[in-house]
Structure 1
Amino acid sequence: MLDALSDKFEKILKKLRGQGVLSEQNIAEALKEVRLALLEADVNFKVVKDFIERVRQKAIGQEVLQSLTPGHQVVKVVWDELSDMMGRERAGLSLNPQPPTIVMMVGLQGAGKTTTCGKLARLFKSQGKRVLLVAADPRRPAAGEQLSALGRDLGVEVHRHDQAHATTKDVVAICRAGVERAREQGFDLVVLDTGGRLHIDDELMGELVAVKAATSPHEVLLVADAMTGQDAVTMAGQFDQKVGLTGVILAKVEGDARGGAVLSIRAVTGKPIKFIGVGEKLDALEVFHPDRMASRILGMGDVLSLIEKAQETFSREQAEEAQKRLTSNTFTLEDFRAQLGQMNRLGSLEQILGMLPGGQKLKSALEGEKPEREMRRVAAIIDSMTVRERRDHTIINGSRKKRIARGSGTNVQDVNRLIKQFLSAKKLAKAMTGAGGRRQLAQLMRSM
């Protein structure tokens, strides 16, 4: 996500940080590069022009030029302006104090709207909310079945026209009935999955306007494909003009290396990005934080989001137990396998590195590597061991290694490598918690 832009920003700002004294000339040269980087990222031209002018005015101010660390001050200016461009504060969903909250989802066909409805339902179900999904796209034969399948996977109820309205395909009636059911049965959130189209047409827009008038939704959210860049921004403007939006959900952000839609949509339409889709799985939906996104773009990482993901994945008791076993030297291959499983639930290694300060460099170092495939191989090797072997690696002799290798579809060298990695992890934990930990940790990292 935004890798190319982040790389360019990091190089540009590194030059500025390395200069003891800044002049208007070298600030102007840096801003030329920033302007080019943003345009190459498919950011709206007018947005880029306004952004560069605001940064220029602040960066050549006396307070920055005479600062003890002018390069760092310019970085702060750029971060501030990027955050402002994307909305500064997170928008989130406006929940009705008297349930249900009605969320109307709109968008073009193929943008991932139905899947995003499922992601939104999962997110709020995990927060203890009762969610009702309404299949309001009778024109696409598979739409209702797709939403029903998502509902079954999530344990969420789905309202369909072929259940309550067997003789009609009136979208307004379907939505009205779904909202009424949500009120009667005490649902907290009702999500209307309206029909998408390949092109924006008057018939579709008229239908959406009618649904909005009949159901009075608290949120009208556009699901836009981030990979379409400025087309997503243009489409958001058209939907807002004809239907009236309260926000945008950008889908497929994980595949958008340029970032034009993420950076432009708020500035052009005035509508906030409320969520971003960062993968195909139903848990791959994140609340959008403009300030955190600005930090990611500038290579500063997003540790707060990583902590939040970790808190969702691990309980406090699990974390304390893992720490206790690591520090008491009772950490086993069984524990190692459990930790790998929990890491997988955090997301891909690439996503995790993207949230760490300086993570771009680590991602570059891993280019061409397949860490997820290696983790699956490690899991297969450990799964091929007996319970006793997982709990006491010292009994794993040559014949046992051959059996484990055959069972996991690997070779003895792979088994040896795993045991070596496991022992290194134990040393790392000991180095971090023992006396003189920082010095031992530095020595261990150099050797690794």
Structure 2
Amino acid sequence: MFASLQDNLRTALKSLRGKGKLTDANMRDGLRMVEEAMIEADVAYPVVQDFMARVSEEAMGQKVLKSLNPDQQLVGVVHEQLIQLLGPVDPSLHLEKDVTVLMMCGLQGAGKTTTCGKLARLIGTEGKKALLVAADLQRPAAVQQLHVVGESVGAKVYSEENASDPIAVCQNAVKFARENGINVVILDTAGRLAIDEELMEQLKTIDRKIGPDQCFLVVDGMTGQDAVNSAKAFNDALELDGVIMTKLDGDARGGALLSVKHVTGVPIKFIGISEHMDGLEPFYADRMAGRILGMGDVLSMVEMAQREFDQDEAMKAQKALEAGSFTLDDFKRQLEQIMRPGLMKKMLGMMPGFGDMANMLQNTDHEKDMRRLRGIIDSMTREERRTPKVITPTRRQRIAAGSGTSPQEVNELLKQFDAMSSMMKGASPSELIGKMQRGDLVDPTGKMKKNKVGTGKRLSTKERLAQKKVRDKALRKRKKR
């Protein structure tokens, strides 16, 4: 997320590293690089000007100028001003009413219908029932798409055949929700390829006659300043309660995210960070500021783990470990949770110092890795899965032949099983996070190798050869003895 902006800001802040203290001269150089990084990220220029004025005022204060760690002080100043630029934000939906109506609007192509499904899924994790309403009666196949999305997240979809009046559909949907004990109604309204008067009049009418409790605008974060302009136009017409910014996992430079609140006054409530239905996160200004500066976001990672992992399955695994009965079948189920598409990369990206590792995993075929690991385990007998210690070299060859892998790959999986068992034994979720941060990271794919200091960094070919020479030399010495 925002790799270019992160890299440029890091370079700007590193330029002050090693300076004895902040002075007018070196501060001007550092601030100029910060400003260039924001302009390159397509942040609206008035926003850049205001942001830099605030940062300069804070950074040039006597308290900072006397600092012995100028780079750290400037990071602190920039971090604080980013939080003010992005916030304050209340990410909660306030679903206290019997039926809460959420109106979703936006231009075509922003990901509005998919976001409706993601929001319904997120609401479902809070124990509420959501009803998706097909109020987009203009775009071909929009109703059908919403039904597919609703089915994928387990949410009901309200639609009417041959309907021509979106207002009547919305009114009937709210009535249906009240009669069927549904807590939240999400209106998927029509969009356009561009803002026009007809679109705005239709949305104003729905807003006036349905009276939604909250109105959210879905904008494409990759469109830069166009996203800010559309947010301003929609807010002038509807008085938005929040913005949901999508596609931030792509090549978004970050300009729209950093500009929209300052330009429109409308807070960002949620962000879309993947194309999968679990790829919607509540927006927190302080956490996002930390991510932009490469400081990590451990709180969001812990919340994601609690939300996405099957807690009952985790408790069973924990009890099996405590009883000494954790098997390879249990191991396989744990891996299937961890290695869902994009989940490992997202979680690593939230950990301080693990951003580069997350980028390494971007092109990794996790499904292929999972099939390989599953094939190895399924080629074992029940006894071998229950008690891996009985697997001899002969059995290892048989398992490899049955799974289409090599004995070395079978051996690597058994090592991963032992490592994961040790890491999980008696550890709470917060303790597991701590182990991951310290570099005690189990890598189910077998593609990452720990370096000497255990940081989880992939070793280069040159480094691996150097380590092999050291091992070979030590082995020769032992043989001479």
Would you say same fold, with TM above 0.5?
yes
Match in the other structure for 1:254? 249
Match in the other structure for 2:3? 3
Match in the other structure for 1:142? 141
Match in the other structure for 1:299? 294
Picking from 330, 339, 362, the partner of 1:335 is: 330
* CA distance in 1 between partners of 2:353 and 2:290 (Å): 11
Picking from 422, 439, 452, the partner of 1:446 is: 452
- Kept in 2, the 8 Å contact 1:16–1:71? The answer is yes
* CA distance in 2 between partners of 1:90 and 1:440 (Å): 34
Supply the AA of the counterpart residue of 1:14.
K
SS at match of 1:233: helix
* CA distance in 2 between partners of 1:419 and 1:63 (Å): 55
Residues 425 and 103 from structure 1, CA distance in 2 versus in 1: closer, same or farther, beyond 3 angstroms?
closer
* CA distance in 2 between partners of 1:282 and 1:149 (Å): 12
Match in the other structure for 1:288? 283
* CA distance in 2 between partners of 1:414 and 1:196 (Å): 51
Q: Which runs of 5+ in 2 are unaligned?
A: 442-449, 455-481
Q: Which runs of 5+ in 1 are unaligned?
A: none
Supply the AA of the counterpart residue of 2:354.
G
**Structure 2 length as normaliser, TM-score?**
0.82
Deviations 1:236-275 (A, max 9, x none): 1111122332111111111134212211111111111111
Picking from 356, 381, 384, the partner of 1:386 is: 381
* CA distance in 1 between partners of 2:362 and 2:102 (Å): 41
How far has the Cα of 1:116 moved from its partner?
0.8
Structure with more relative contact order (C-alpha pairs < 8 Å, separation 6 or more) = 1
* CA distance in 1 between partners of 2:208 and 2:276 (Å): 33
Match in the other structure for 2:472? none
Identity %: 48
- Kept in 2, the 8 Å contact 1:35–1:52? The answer is yes
* CA distance in 2 between partners of 1:145 and 1:198 (Å): 20
Residues 318 and 148 from structure 1, CA distance in 2 versus in 1: closer, same or farther, beyond 3 angstroms?
closer
Match in the other structure for 1:26? 26
* CA distance in 2 between partners of 1:424 and 1:125 (Å): 35
- Kept in 1, the 8 Å contact 2:341–2:367? The answer is no
* CA distance in 2 between partners of 1:371 and 1:10 (Å): 30
Deviations 1:392-423 (A, max 9, x none): 22222344334433443433332232223334
Deviations 1:132-157 (A, max 9, x none): 21110122231112212222333322
Residues 407 and 70 from structure 1, CA distance in 2 versus in 1: closer, same or farther, beyond 3 angstroms?
same
Give the 5 Å matches for 1:195-344. Answer: 195-314=190-309, 319=314, 322=317, 331-344=326-339
How far has the Cα of 1:106 moved from its partner?
0.6
- Kept in 2, the 8 Å contact 1:402–1:411? The answer is yes
Deviations 1:33-85 (A, max 9, x none): 11111112121121112111110110010111123544322211111111111
SS at match of 2:412: helix
Residues 328 and 31 from structure 1, CA distance in 2 versus in 1: closer, same or farther, beyond 3 angstroms?
farther
Supply the AA of the counterpart residue of 1:133.
L
* CA distance in 2 between partners of 1:326 and 1:440 (Å): 22
* CA distance in 1 between partners of 2:47 and 2:159 (Å): 42
* CA distance in 2 between partners of 1:113 and 1:440 (Å): 39
Q: Structure 1 residues 61-70 or 72-81, which shifts more?
A: 61-70
* CA distance in 2 between partners of 1:23 and 1:297 (Å): 25
* CA distance in 2 between partners of 1:83 and 1:66 (Å): 24
Deviations 1:159-198 (A, max 9, x none): 2121xxx5x4011111122223223433211111111111
Supply the AA of the counterpart residue of 1:33.
M
- Kept in 2, the 8 Å contact 1:346–1:352? The answer is no
Residues 269 and 130 from structure 1, CA distance in 2 versus in 1: closer, same or farther, beyond 3 angstroms?
same
SS at match of 1:141: coil
* CA distance in 1 between partners of 2:18 and 2:252 (Å): 27
Residues 157 and 332 from structure 1, CA distance in 2 versus in 1: closer, same or farther, beyond 3 angstroms?
closer
How far has the Cα of 1:304 moved from its partner?
0.3
**Structure 1 length as normaliser, TM-score?**
0.88
How far has the Cα of 1:334 moved from its partner?
2.8
Q: Structure 1 residues 325-334 or 264-273, which shifts more?
A: 325-334
- Kept in 1, the 8 Å contact 2:106–2:217? The answer is yes
Match in the other structure for 1:88? 88
Deviations 1:13-48 (A, max 9, x none): 234354331112111111111111111212112111
Residues 141 and 414 from structure 1, CA distance in 2 versus in 1: closer, same or farther, beyond 3 angstroms?
same
SS at match of 1:16: coil
Match in the other structure for 1:159? 158
Q: How many residues align?
A: 438
* CA distance in 1 between partners of 2:130 and 2:50 (Å): 42
Deviations 1:73-103 (A, max 9, x none): 22111111111111133333243x4321111
Supply the AA of the counterpart residue of 2:87.
G
SS at match of 1:377: helix
Supply the AA of the counterpart residue of 1:267.
H
